[in-house]
Amino acid sequence: MTGNLLWATIGAAVLMTAPASEALAGKRYEATITRTTYGIPHIEARDWRGVGYGVAYAYAEDNLCLLAEEFATVAGERSRFWGPEAKAVLGFEEVDNLSSDVFFRAVIDLPALRKGAKTLSPRVQDLLAGYVAGYNRFLKDAGTQGIPAECRGKPWVRPITADDMLRMNEKQMLLASSLNLAPAIANAAPPGSPAPKVAINMPDPKELGIGSNGWAFGSEVTADGRGMVIGNPHFPWKGPARFWQMHVKGPGGYEVMGVGLAGTPMPTLGFNKDVAWTHTVTEARHFTLYQLALDPADPTRYLVDGKSEAMTPQTVTVPMPDGQTAVTRTLYSTRWGPVFVVPARGITWSAQSAFALKDANRGNQRGIETWLRIGEARNVFDIKEAVTQTLGIPWVNTIAADRDGGALHADVTAVPNVSAAKAKACATPISGLFAEFAILLDGSKAGCDWDVAVGTPEPGLMPALDQAVTFTNTYLTNSNDSYWISNPAMPHRQLSPILGKYATARSLRTRSNFIETAALIAGGKIDHARAQAHAFANKSLAAEMTLDEIKVLCITTQGLAAAVERGCAALADWDRRFEATSRGAALFRAFWPKAARLPGLWQVPFDPADPVNTPRALAIDGPKGEKLVAALAEAVAELDTAGIALDAPWGEVQRVMAADSAIPIHGGPGTLGILNMQESLPVPGGLTPRHGTSYIQIVGFDDKGPVADAILSYSQSTNPASPHAYDQTRAYAEKQWHRLPFSAKAIAAETIGKPKNIAE
């Protein structure tokens, strides 16, 4: 694209962003961007257009290639630019490009999104318009040579329009629901069609590693009697689901500091002068599955109350690279949503039956307004109102505290209004097989649609009154288990099963959370220093619960193989933590997944009356002990094969490469009961983080405003040439917290470079 044509296209794109209610003529976009330590941008604008304008410009400065690629992804253009068989992260898992393109071209309903956008509040429309203008302005200012080397001259780095933002927002809403079934939807075809050429899975969010920890401490347990939040979301270290820090000061007194994902026009997790909040992925399910009874005469028709209905065909065409013939596919949808297949799980499209998915977050455009209202809150009750009135939060818990010492946990999201009674009445003979993943309903009965409640923003959503909201002045916390317990002293009443499991065993990470939080409170009133130590304790509850018994096995088992003796010695000297200096952690990381799946692992079973301390007591008698020893032998062999010493310091095993230097990374898998979660992928000679602890914030309040310490573990920029590509990663490695500059005085003291004013 020539320079003149590029700027002409950018100009046209900017004009297209104006809300329908306003003409752009005579209006200006303007923002000031001031950078402080670690490159954190402080964006100030007089109106919402200016806010979006400044946020987009600053984000593009740090992460242009990532964001440009994401716009190509949501437009269904990955095959064209990177080839159909290549893979990229879609949401939280790798998906082949062709499946990704088919999914986005079929599932994102642009006409409906455009129609819905006209009903958004003027400020949301302005934010989105400003974001488009700011992104395009950066392209103009950067020119060809200002584009990072990784994407310089690439055809997918292009100006954007309002449609790109609508697609991006829709994708964010579907992250924990339909998006995880993109290949299953994109490769669904009537019986007699060729079998899918790609692997199709039906992932569980817990298996994906989606997670987080969040704490809200109230006035009864903090040192100053004010509220405090510890936020520890676990998100990918690479890709568009990375967090990015920002401080935004906009119209009407709006001032929020925190983080957002790629394409987010304001902070979605953070704090203002009176409240702080964080999010954790909820166990609630945001979709239901429907089993279809097909018309015997035609597998593209299905029966509802005995009457035949035609599926709606949708043909999508995906462009291929280098002039190759485009790929065309026809997908089918029903009143319940798109048909999908997961052959490996027996979810097929036969002559008799098929399956469809109905998603509560499809078309959810309420989220931005919800987060704006949270950002304007003055106490936790305001946050509760924002969340419950809009039902715009797509798939996360909201955990918050305020300067008055109130604490809130709201597991309130856009969730289908399916009661326990309806789930039971509409179950099919195979619904039990799906229970771990979703609620399966009978699609042959119209009455099995979601119930419509009065007052919800969209029909079929569960009203907030039927979801979980808890206030206290002590503490509330969540580590991705269900609403049942966010404080062991105050369990919640039982709600619909679509909101998660009730009175069932909690994960080791949840149990570790309750144990460590109780110890924190027992040790005295909580201040920032104690909160910091709590967040990065790196203890493994699995190790605390099992290593004494493992030592007994090592001593009493006769004829141990040499490899097992080496393993026993390494574990005996381990400090049971995942600090960078811990020796033996790598061996336990390899051992525990093998041991945890053994039947009859615990002597004391789960007791719903004691969910924090049960199950417990490792069973080591007879064959059970033999299997544990065998699991240890397998773990030793695994590390030997990988070339990792059994007693290697953990920071030499789990690391991030920054140019030619290695940065040691503390923390470990949440399945081992480690709060500071880091899930890692194998690399030559060790491991490197895939997802886990990302933006960690500890926020309290003084008389003047917020007091916030934070670290962004993977740093602000994905551009290797940026000075802010690894600086916070090194700070994370050293547990070096950063007191965030919020006041004008603090910002001035930390300013790096000259503030940048952009306007047009």
Which residues are designated catalytic?
A: 212
Rounded Cα–Cα distance for residues 286 and 544 (Å): 35
Length of the chain: 760
Residue 247 and residue 39 in contact, taking contact as beta carbons nearer than 8 Å: no
Q: Is 475 helix (H, G, I), strand (E, B) or coil?
A: strand
Task: Give φ, ψ of 468 to 5 degrees.
Answer: -105, 120
Alpha-carbon torsion 653, 210, 494, 382, what sign?
positive
Rounded Cα–Cα distance for residues 408 and 385 (Å): 12
Q: Which two tokens stand for residue 225?
A: 């009697």
Rounded Cα–Cα distance for residues 470 and 472 (Å): 7
**How remote is the C-alpha of 749 from its chain's centroid?**
34
Residues contacting residue 681 through CB under 8 Å, at least 6 positions apart: 687, 688, 689, 690
Q: Is 354 helix (H, G, I), strand (E, B) or coil?
A: strand
Task: Give φ, ψ of 471 to 5 degrees.
Answer: -115, 150
Helix runs in 503-582, H state only: 508-522, 528-535, 541-556, 562-572
The CA radius of gyration of the chain, in Å to the nearest whole number, is 26
Nearest to 654 by CA among 662, 235, 576, 238: 662
Q: Which two tokens stand for residue 182?
A: 């993109």
Rounded Cα–Cα distance for residues 502 and 516 (Å): 22
Rounded Cα–Cα distance for residues 268 and 556 (Å): 54
Residues contacting residue 97 through CB under 8 Å, at least 6 positions apart: 78, 79, 82, 83, 84, 85, 86, 87, 88
Q: Which two tokens stand for residue 686?
A: 């060790």
Residue 635 and residue 564 in contact, taking contact as beta carbons nearer than 8 Å: no
Strands 661-664 and 298-304: unpaired
| Tally of CA atoms within 13 A in the half-sphere of 288 that contains its CB | 32
Rounded Cα–Cα distance for residues 661 and 675 (Å): 27
Tokens 């967040």 appear where?
A: 535
Q: Which DSSP helix (H) or strand (E) runs through 83?
A: none
Rounded Cα–Cα distance for residues 338 and 349 (Å): 12
**Cis preceding linkage at 615, omega within 30:** yes
Rounded Cα–Cα distance for residues 77 and 84 (Å): 10
CA angle in degrees (0–180, nearest 5) for 688-692-695: 115
Rounded Cα–Cα distance for residues 474 and 504 (Å): 24
Residue 477 and residue 517 in contact, taking contact as beta carbons nearer than 8 Å: yes
Q: How far is CA 455 from CA 388, 464, 470, 554, in A?
A: 11, 10, 21, 62
Q: Is 154 helix (H, G, I), strand (E, B) or coil?
A: coil
Nearest to 486 by CA among 499, 468, 504: 468
Q: 410: which strand partners?
A: 398, 469
Residues contacting residue 36 through CB under 8 Å, at least 6 positions apart: 42, 741, 747, 750, 751, 752
Task: Give φ, ψ of 540 to 5 degrees.
Answer: -110, 110
Which residue type, as a one-letter code, is found at position 207? E
> What is the maximum alpha-carbon separation in the chain?
86
Q: How many CB atoms lie within 10 A of CB 293?
A: 17
